[in-house]
Chain A
Amino acid sequence: MANDDRDILDALARTAPAPPDVHWGRYRAELREKLETRRQRRSFAVVYANVTLALSAGLAGVLLFFAVWGGRENGTGVDLVTLDEALLGGRLGLLQQYAVVERLDLLEELDVIRNLDGLAAERRG
């Protein structure tokens, strides 16, 4: 470094302004407080992370269980029977009125019955 540069740096070193005074006891007390706050925040973050991890793992486990178990059920065909039974169960009221439902078939034929005369006339003509 050139001598001129050194002179200026030396002048700065000699005349460096002093910072305002600090109460060091208070300074350390504040530091302790900040450290404690940070520790608490950190332990909360650790607990939060662990809980989140546990919940995620649990959810993943449940999903995996259903995926594997459901797949096995489908493979044996038992699931379809159960589904069929459930659907039939839902229509049980309809089955109890089977006699009425049976007659409804006649109504489907009503148009044909009405046109029987016409059809017979057409054949004759």
Chain B
Amino acid sequence: MEPSDEVLCERVAGRDEAAFDLLVARYQERAYRLAWSITRHAEDARDLSQEAFVRLYQSAGSFGGRAKFSTWFYRVLVNLCLDHRRKNRWWQRWARDDGDDPSGDSLLDRQPAPASDPVDALGRERALSSLWAAVDRLAPQQRAAVILQVQEELPTAEIATVLRCSEATVRVHLHRAVAALRKTVEKS
């Protein structure tokens, strides 16, 4: 039977390299995807997710087991990403395009295949494209709440733990985010 994340984390606290490797293997894709969703920059997402693993290795002993390991790890990662965005906000906009995907695909290109009716499909794709672009423009906490819910499928209680706020605050973040997104959809 595979050891749980929490057991592995305890072993990492005892400097068990194999346990650390196993945790990295389990979380690397989720960590990178989450970091990318917040930063929208591949290189930063790689650096930040790696930094989260370094922090995990260094402070695994401080994981008290009160929350799930995934929640604790997401908190470390989301904090790193939000701090990074805060620090780089002014020059990032100046130096980079919004979509810095090395493949060169636009957000529209990365959406699923169109439905049968081309006109409907085009309209829907435009709406979806503008919807995700609107997610990128949300306030950092709102955006993190949305991403944690729609991508990581975390319940409100866990999002609250990750963002260090109450569940009520998370609901407010989500509601305001959705209201802003709806406006975008209506405009488009």
Contacts and interface: CB of A to CB of B under 8 A. Distances in A.
Interface string B116-150: 00000000000010011001000000000010011
Contacts of B50: 27, 30-31, 34
Contacts of A13: 150-151, 153
Contact of B185 (A1, A8, A15, A30): A8
Given A4-B182, A8-B178, A27-B46, A17 B54 contact: no
Contact of B53 (A1, A10, A17, A31): A31
B51 to A, nearest CB: 8
A59 B149 CA distance: 58
Contact of B175 (A5, A12, A20): A5
Nearest to A31: B50
A5 B179 CA distance: 8
Given A15-B112, A19-B36, A9 B150 contact: yes
B131 A12 contact: yes
A31 B45 contact: no
A12 B150 CA distance: 7
Contacts of B36: 19-20
Interface string B147-188: 001110100000000000000000100110010011001000
A35 B57 contact: yes
Nearest to A24: B28
Select the residue from B36, B103, B150, B185 with max chain A CB neighbours within 10 A: B150
Contacts of B107: 17
A107 interface: no
A31 B54 contact: yes
Contacts of A5: 174-175, 178
Given A5-B175, A17-B132, 6 more contacts: A10-B150, A12-B135, A19-B36, A28-B24, A30-B50, A35-B54
Interface of A: 1, 4-5, 8-20, 22, 24, 27-28, 30-31, 34-35, 38
Interface of B: 21, 24, 28-29, 32-33, 36-37, 42, 45-46, 50-51, 53-54, 57-58, 101-103, 107, 110-112, 128, 131-132, 135, 146, 149-151, 153, 171, 174-175, 178, 181-182, 185
